[in-house]
Structure 1
Amino acid sequence: MEYKVPKYLQIKTDIINAIKSGELKPGDKVDSESVLKKKYNVSSITVRKAFNDLINENYLIGVQGVGTFVAKERINRKLTSISFSDELLQQGYKIDMQVDKIEEIVNENIAEKLEIPPERSIICVRRIRMVNNEPVAYQSSFMDSNMLNLEQAQKICESKSFYKTLAEYNIFPVGATENYSVKAVNDSHIAKLMNLRKGTDTFFVKRTTYGESGKIIEYAETYFNKDWYSVTVEVKI
C-alpha cells in the first residue's frame, strides 16, 4: 500500500528545499496562504500547519499584516568575550557601527547605576550595531564624565569601537554582568533605526562593566532584534 505524504508536510518540505537550494533567501517573502491553497489544492488549515511548523523550526518568520518571510540567520553569542564586536568577528561576521548621538547628560538613575554622585554629568554614546550590513542592535553606553569627557568620546566616530576608544585612555574592562529581559521598542526613533515597527518586542540587555579595580566603568542598555539574536550559555558540572 502506497503511503501518501500529508499535504502540509509536502508544503513544508518544498519550502525547506527552496531555502536550502538558495531559491529562497533570508528576508524573501514566501507565497501567501491563498497562493499555496490554490497551488496544492488544500485548505487554509493545512497551509497554516505548514507555516506554524516552519516558524517554530526557525525557517520562517511571520509579520502580522505583512506576510511570511524566510528567517535570517541568527547571531549566536556564546558570551566568550566582553566585546560584542570581537566575538562576532571571531565567528566571521562583517560588523560596523553607526553613531546616533554622543552627548553629556545628567541623570540620577544612571548615576546610581554608575555609583557616582547624582549631580555629576554622564557621557552617553548611542549607536546602531550593524552585522552583515543589517541593523541588529541599538546600544546606549553611559560613563562617568570624570573618566571619559565629551571630546574624548567623539573619537568613537573614527575608531568605530567603544572599547578601542577607551583603551586609548588606558581604560580596560575586565568583566561584566548582563541582565536579559524582553522589552518593546516604544521609541519611534530607535524603532526606525532598527528597521522595526514601534512596539516590537526585543531582547533588552542591561550591562554593567567593571575595570581592574572593581570600579564600574560603563553601564549600557541595548535593544537586540530578537529575529537576529540568540545566546548560548555553557554550564559545566
Structure 2
Amino acid sequence: MENRGTKYYQIKQDIIQAIKHQKLKPGDKVDSESVIKKKYNVSATTVRKAFSDLISDGYLYGVQGLGTFVAKKQMIRNLTSISFSDELIQQGYEIDMKIDDISEIVNEKIAEKLGIHKEQPITCIKRVRLANNEPIAYQSSYIDSRILSLEDAKDIYKTKSFYKTLSNFRIIPTWVNENYSIKELNNTKIQKMMNIKKGEATFFVKRIAFNEADEIIEYAETYFNKEWYSVTVNIKI
C-alpha cells in the first residue's frame, strides 16, 4: 500500500496529473532521473520505483539510452477489438459464464486503482468465463458503486456480459490498459472452478478501463487458463 504522504507517491501523481492535463503529451520525454532526484530531493531508487510503476500502469515507456517517455494512447488496444465475448464468438465458440460472487466491498488497494477514496464502496463481480462449456478464465471486475450499484450489477445474470451490463446503464468504456504477466494460481476455490492444479501457471491480466474523458471506470484482474489462451500482437512499421 502506498503512503500518499511520501515523495515517491508525489512523483507518480505529479506525472499522472501532467499527462491527464496534457502538460505532458504522448511521445514527450519526461524529466531525467537526475532532474527528478534534485527536484524532489530523493534517492535514485525512489525515482526508479516511481518510473517502474508508471511504466507498469501504462503511463510511460522507457527507451534504453534515450530516456523515459509518455506512452502513446493509440498503442493501447481499443476495447471493441478485445471484447472477450466477441473474440470467442468470432472464433466459433459457444460462450457462457458462471457467476461466483456479486458483492459490495471496501478495499483501499482497489480504491487506489480506481482513483477513489479508500472508504468508497466498490461493486465487485467475480465470474468464470466458459467456452464450449470449458472454464477458460476467472475474472474479477471492480467498479465504483456510485457508477454501478450492487443491484444494477445483478443485471449480468441476464446479459451474461459485464460490458453489456455496463452499456445497459449507459456506462461506455472506450479504451483500456492491460498488463500481462505469468502468475501461479494458489487459490483453492478458483483452482477447482477452473480445473487447474495447485500452483499451475496462468496468464494474469490486470486491466484498467477508461471512458472518453479518460476517467477510470473499471479495474479488473483475470486468470486465463494458459492451455486455452494466447496473445498475438501485430506490429506494422
Q: TM-score, normalised by structure 2?
A: 0.66
**Aligned residue number for residue 43 of structure 2:** none
Give the count of matched residue pairs. Answer: 160
Aligned CA-pair RMSD: 1.4
Per-residue Cα deviation, 1:83-121 (whole angstroms, up to 9, x for no partner): 110121122111111100000000011000000011101
Q: Is the 8 A contact 2:206 2:222 kept in 1?
A: yes
* Alpha-carbon distance in structure 1 between the residues aligned to 2:91 and 2:152: 30
* Alpha-carbon distance in structure 2 between the residues aligned to 1:113 and 1:82: 21
**Aligned residue number for residue 191 of structure 1:** 191
**Aligned residue number for residue 201 of structure 2:** 201
Per-residue Cα deviation, 1:99-148 (whole angstroms, up to 9, x for no partner): 00000000011000000011101000000000111000000000000100
* Alpha-carbon distance in structure 2 between the residues aligned to 1:91 and 1:198: 30
- Any runs of at least 4 consecutive aligned residues in structure 1 with deviations exceeding 2 A, and if so which? none
> Is 2:141 the counterpart of 1:145?
no
* Alpha-carbon distance in structure 1 between the residues aligned to 2:215 and 2:100: 27
* Alpha-carbon distance in structure 2 between the residues aligned to 1:186 and 1:224: 14
* Alpha-carbon distance in structure 2 between the residues aligned to 1:143 and 1:231: 26
* Alpha-carbon distance in structure 2 between the residues aligned to 1:93 and 1:100: 22
* Alpha-carbon distance in structure 1 between the residues aligned to 2:162 and 2:141: 9
* Alpha-carbon distance in structure 2 between the residues aligned to 1:160 and 1:174: 20
**Which amino acid in the other structure matches residue 107 of structure 2?**
N
Helix, strand or coil for the counterpart of 1:176?
strand
* Alpha-carbon distance in structure 2 between the residues aligned to 1:139 and 1:183: 14
* Alpha-carbon distance in structure 2 between the residues aligned to 1:147 and 1:98: 23
1:12-161 equivalent positions in 2, closer than 5 A:
81-161=81-161
Between Structure 1 and Structure 2, whose CA radius of gyration is higher? 1
* Alpha-carbon distance in structure 1 between the residues aligned to 2:79 and 2:213: 22
Change (3 A) 1:204 1:236: same
Per-residue Cα deviation, 1:41-61 (whole angstroms, up to 9, x for no partner): xxxxxxxxxxxxxxxxxxxxx
> Is 2:230 the counterpart of 1:234?
no
* Alpha-carbon distance in structure 2 between the residues aligned to 1:213 and 1:92: 34
Identity of aligned residues (%): 61
* Alpha-carbon distance in structure 2 between the residues aligned to 1:217 and 1:186: 28
Q: Is the 8 A contact 2:183 2:204 kept in 1?
A: yes
Q: Is the 8 A contact 2:139 2:220 kept in 1?
A: yes
* Alpha-carbon distance in structure 1 between the residues aligned to 2:144 and 2:84: 21
Unaligned 5+ residue runs, structure 1?
A: 1-77
Unaligned 5+ residue runs, structure 2?
A: 1-77
**Aligned residue number for residue 218 of structure 2:** 218
Q: TM-score, normalised by structure 1?
A: 0.66
